[in-house]
Chain A
């Protein structure tokens, strides 16, 4: 698993370059998030375009990543496919994270 990190209009976009966030990579995901978000300020948008499967361990790792954020940082999610979106809805985590349909709307939703 690797991340691609880009700054855009005052937000940082972290693109997960993996098809799965599951039990096999949950700890690595959490560590990579800690590393990637260290020192950032403001909105952090997690781009899940490439992710087609997430299990409860992966969901737990995203929640843990949110809990380890520093003051002034905010985690949002974008581009969830049907199966990933379903896990967030069933566990009601869709009420905890701002979720955007895609990166473009995520970035523009707060711009200006």
Chain B
């Protein structure tokens, strides 16, 4: 986003490639404060890991493309892949499950979509031909994006 205000990355759906992509985005956000960069990194990590783990799956590799654009109302993200569609064609609501009393019943997963929905706005999933597209916006960047 430095200069032109946009960033485009394409990378394989492996955990280490996702990690490198996150580092590229965070490095590009040097103008934002540490906590804002951390929030962007967290939401992107959840969305990209979902693609790697569920759309493609551990035994299946493919490409992930990520676009980030800086707008007056925040950072806009678009993630595309050629993996399997979301179950029932919709992105999970990510409602927080009540935490159980018993430790043995404590969930070890299912937090990803809750974090994405909680920390971003305008989440939209669509299937276009063989391509999954997820778009969302994050209201960061101070007063400029604080509407």
CB of A76 closer than 8 Å to a CB of B = no
Q: Number of B residues contacting the other chain (C-beta, 8 Å)?
A: 29
Question: B99 near A96 (CB under 8 angstroms)?
Answer: yes
Flag if B96 contacts A91 (CB, 8 Å): yes
Partner of B114, one of A60, A83, A91: A91
Task: Please state if A56 and B109 are interface contacts (CB–CB under 8 Å).
Answer: yes
In-complex Cβ contact of B38 among A60, A61, A86 (8 A): A86
CB distance A67 to B104 under 8 Å? yes
B31 within 8 A of A: no
B109 touches A60 (CB 8 A): yes
B106 interface neighbour in A24, A61, A66, Cβ under 8 Å: A66
**Chain B residues near A60 (CB-CB < 8 A):** 107-109, 111
What residues of chain A lie closer than 8 Å to B96, measured between beta carbons?
91-92
A81 to B106, CA, bound (A): 24
Interface range on chain A: under 10, 10 to 19, 20 to 34, or 35 or more?
Answer: 20 to 34
Set of chain A residues within 8 Å of B92, measured between Cβ atoms:
none
| Assembled-state Cα–Cα distance A96/B53 (Å) | 27
Q: How many angstroms between the C-alpha atoms of A53 and B115 in the bound complex?
A: 14
Chain B residues lying within 8 Å of A55, measured Cβ to Cβ, are 42, 45-46, 49, 112
- Chain B residues in contact with chain A, CB under 8 A? 15-16, 18-19, 34-35, 38-39, 41-42, 45-46, 49, 52-53, 96, 99, 103-104, 106-109, 111-112, 114-115, 118-119
